[in-house]
Structure 1
Amino acid sequence: MKINWTGFSKKTPLERQKLISSLLTEEKQTLLRDNKQLALKTADQMAEHVLGTFSLPFSIAPDFLIDNKIYHVPMVTEEPSVVAAASFAAKLIKRSGGFTTTIHNRLMIGQVALYDLKDKKIAEQIISSHKEQLLSHANEAHPSILKRGGGARNIWTEEKEEFLIVYLSVDTQEAMGANMLNTMLEAIAPILEEITAGKSLMAILSNYATESLVTAECSVDLRFLSRNIEEAQQLAQKMELATHLAQVDTYRAATHNKGIFNGIDAVVLATGNDWRAIEAAGHSYATQGGLYRGLSNWFYDRKKQQVHGKLTLPMPIATKGGSIGLNPTVQLAHELLNSPSAKELASVIVSVGLAQNFAALKALIGTGIQEGHMKLQAKSLLLLVGATEKEATILLPRLLKEKHRNQETAQELLIDLRNQK
């Protein structure tokens, strides 16, 4: 069923729920309507010292065209303008052909760090000669993954100062695979110690998931930057320059990448994944070459009169395991996405990051980041000082005209409005 998203932002939450009801089963519609939260009993099993549960806004960014398929993307974030920016970018990019993605690989990497070796070169040769035995032992430690088509794929070594590091790559299928990797690594660590006569310092997965890279790309026609062709061309040049700035200046790169993760983290949270692992992988990847750089690139294609964006990231995302099966809202999020595979979900998430980046850059090089952001921030201020929804609607235009749009000004405007009644 095709959904008319026109005016979606102006609707009430109940009206939005009704509009998207065709995307959900009756059970999930009820869950959404009742705003059912994670059960306290379940939460107590997920973490320690639990006192209660903590809520954040659960939103949807509709109509992402990714690899010729439409996705309505769930997002969890408290930051104003993130969902609006992603939705705006998705709309423009869809009109220009949408996103295309490439899954470069889908393997997780772990490591056993060996030390106190008499001769690291000889140890490397020994490990190489026992490669098949080590892979077999790793798989025996977690046999269920073999039944699902996954398992240990490769072992290699690298000398780094006093350490000889043994790396293991594993196809974790739909799981993120942290426990799987750690089980396998701990299983082969004693064998490595025995055959090399060295000592194992630790056996642990790495969040630097360079064997789980995903690339998202899109092109945007210049007419979507501005109706004025000369202004559009200037904006395209500035967008290209803006990403170059993020390549040469770390101060800008940090904020550039934070904007990308505004969108990525929101989807990772909504789908029950480990946003800390995804951030660690992404920021580590940004340091390739020794300088922390912007993760995305945009260039102005003068021949086609388009700007072309590209974002490559490690994306060790999961659709099984962890809290994914425990949290009812997470299950709802996966249903909204039509229950994607891990590879498919990775493509969606990187595309959202690129969309978020496009929206931020377009605002920065155009009207400035504050124009759209401050409108939502101003409404939050009014609600914070106690304004009702109706009062906030009346006072928002007044607050936006004020020189100092802060909590004190919002409070004064609210008092003034109520004194007039």
Structure 2
Amino acid sequence: MQSPIKGFSKLSREEKVKVLIEQQQLAPQLANSFSEYIHPEKQHLFNDISENVISNYYLPFSLAPNFLINDELFIVPMVIEESSVVAAASKAAGFWSKNGGFQTKVINTIKNGQIFFTWGGETKQLITYKDEIKKRILSASEGITRKMRERGGGIVDIDFLSIDNMTSTHQALIKFKTADSMGANFINTCLETIAPYLIDFINQHDALNHNDEAKLVMSILSNYTPECLVECKVSCPIEQLSPYAGNYSAFEFAQRFKTAVEIAINDPYRAVTHNKGIFNGIDAVVLATGNDFRAIEAGAQAYASRNGKYASLTSIDVSESEFNYTLTVPLALGTVGGLINTHPLAKAAMEILHQPTAEKLMQIVASAGMANNFGAVASLVTTGIQKGHMKLHLSNVLNALEASKSEKEIAIKHFKDSVVSYSLVESFLNNHRG
């Protein structure tokens, strides 16, 4: 049995790699692989981003052009390992740029924080004193929120809710606006500052004081932001859908597309994959701009279940002549602070997007999600998803099979009009080599 490693974080990068290779009995040449991806000049920046850094994990930084969003043209940066995502986004963006573009609007930007506490009273008693409590917490946090309030943010409201299936456990749901910041640290600092004042108010108030006094459990922001919403729409006359219709008429394509979306609205198995297609685009832009894609994913997936059943984040309306497709999604994004201001390529992504506000970034990200989802559903109801996906994936398969430059050229030519799969490419190379 191997012994635990003591003081690992205090070791140098080289010492960490040495311990790794020795303890896990790995090939010594692995150390060279780690060294190859160390940045020669700016490694100190990447070392500060995480803990126990031994190398950097590279992902492609790609561009999807021709995003016409509210009549403004963007080239959208995307960080993702799947080439078909960038290709699909670019194709859809080009198509919609000629057909009205993406029409977007921010519905609201409210984010949530929670203070959990135990108390023997009833939630409705706290609601009675809501205005008084709100006044107290605003006063207690005045120094922390001053700069945020100057930028149009701050604490917006407070609600009191009980916790299902937990007797005597309550929450104060605090609503925030955080301007151009994602706001996680700001919200958490506010919550931890005002929580003691809330508890003291309950324990010292004659009408609320119970034998079982209020006790703080924890204070933390929530990544569920059902009010921090952006809407993205694409609309056009049905006949203009012909470039995506394949062997179908434009009207048949629109009807097939509508059926596919309605399946995703009503069937959770399909809805998960349908929404994953949306997040192919969303996550790629969120990651490129240095935002927290895990928080975005968690919040949006919860939002997809808000009615008690997991469903599509998109809705559709197809008449005899018009095609209207809408995405509504919560996106708690920021354009200042954290990785956004420190990672060189996150800063570059912001420059590419002309230094957007948080609200404009929400609209750009939603448009990327719409573009990828539209392309995916269009493929599904015409040629199938694999034809285009595997064509673009061919280069990855060839690299995995260590094909030479000449072998790649021959394989690309061979599979131009053939089905692509890993086993078929492997068989083709083996026959060629043999």
1:348 maps to a residue whose letter is I
Decide which moves more: 43-52 or 180-189: 43-52
Per-residue CA deviation, residues 359-396 of structure 1 (Å, 9 max, x unaligned), is 01100000111110010122211122122445323212
Cα pair distance change 1:280/1:59, threshold 3 Å? same
Aligned-residue CA RMSD (Å): 2.2
User: Matches of 1:399 and 1:230 in 2, distance apart?
Assistant: 25
Per-residue CA deviation, residues 290-348 of structure 1 (Å, 9 max, x unaligned), is 0000101222131xx23211011111111111111111111111111111111001000
Per-residue CA deviation, residues 250-295 of structure 1 (Å, 9 max, x unaligned), is 1000000000000000000000000001101110110021000010
User: Matches of 1:110 and 1:129 in 2, distance apart?
Assistant: 19
C-alpha contact 1:243 1:297 (8 A) present in aligned 2: yes
> Structure 1 residue 272 and structure 2 residue 272: aligned?
no
Which of residues 159, 182, 191 is equivalent to 1:185? 191
C-alpha contact 2:136 2:197 (8 A) present in aligned 1: no
Shift of 1:49: 1.2
Q: Structure 2 matches for 1:360-399, cutoff 5 A?
A: 360-399=376-415
Which of residues 252, 258, 281 is equivalent to 1:234? 252
C-alpha contact 2:394 2:420 (8 A) present in aligned 1: no
Q: TM-score, normalised by structure 2?
A: 0.83
Q: Indicate the residue corresponding to 1:413 in structure 2.
A: 428
Q: Indicate the residue corresponding to 1:29 in structure 2.
A: none
C-alpha contact 1:76 1:270 (8 A) present in aligned 2: yes
Shift of 1:71: 0.7
> Structure 1 residue 114 and structure 2 residue 138: aligned?
no
Cα pair distance change 1:68/1:311, threshold 3 Å? same
Cα pair distance change 1:394/1:139, threshold 3 Å? farther
Structure 1 stretches lacking a partner, 5+ long: 1-34
Per-residue CA deviation, residues 120-179 of structure 1 (Å, 9 max, x unaligned), is 332332343221221232332343323333211111212234332111112211110000
Q: Indicate the residue corresponding to 2:84 in structure 1.
A: 81
| Percent of paired sites with the same residue | 37
Secondary structure, in 3 states, of the residue corresponding to 2:233? strand
Q: Indicate the residue corresponding to 1:246 in structure 2.
A: 264
Cα pair distance change 1:394/1:319, threshold 3 Å? same
Per-residue CA deviation, residues 2-57 of structure 1 (Å, 9 max, x unaligned), is xxxxxxxxxxxxxxxxxxxxxxxxxxxxxxxxx97993211221111111111101
Which of residues 166, 170, 175 is equivalent to 1:164? 170
> Structure 1 residue 176 and structure 2 residue 179: aligned?
no
> Structure 1 residue 291 and structure 2 residue 309: aligned?
yes
C-alpha contact 2:390 2:420 (8 A) present in aligned 1: no
Structure 2 stretches lacking a partner, 5+ long: 1-37, 204-213
C-alpha contact 1:239 1:298 (8 A) present in aligned 2: no
Q: Which has the larger radius of gyration?
A: 2
User: Matches of 1:307 and 1:402 in 2, distance apart?
Assistant: 33
Q: Indicate the residue corresponding to 2:8 in structure 1.
A: none
C-alpha contact 2:77 2:349 (8 A) present in aligned 1: yes
Cα pair distance change 1:37/1:129, threshold 3 Å? farther
Shift of 1:80: 3.0
Q: Indicate the residue corresponding to 1:54 in structure 2.
A: 57
> Structure 1 residue 99 and structure 2 residue 102: aligned?
yes
User: Matches of 1:346 and 1:38 in 2, distance apart?
Assistant: 33
User: Matches of 1:36 and 1:60 in 2, distance apart?
Assistant: 23
C-alpha contact 1:107 1:211 (8 A) present in aligned 2: yes
> How many pairs align?
382
Q: Indicate the residue corresponding to 1:319 in structure 2.
A: 335
Secondary structure, in 3 states, of the residue corresponding to 1:169? strand
Cα pair distance change 1:146/1:242, threshold 3 Å? same
User: Matches of 1:241 and 1:142 in 2, distance apart?
Assistant: 48
User: Matches of 1:209 and 1:158 in 2, distance apart?
Assistant: 16
Q: Indicate the residue corresponding to 2:281 in structure 1.
A: 263
C-alpha contact 1:311 1:350 (8 A) present in aligned 2: yes
Which of residues 137, 140, 159 is equivalent to 1:137? 140
> Structure 1 residue 207 and structure 2 residue 210: aligned?
no
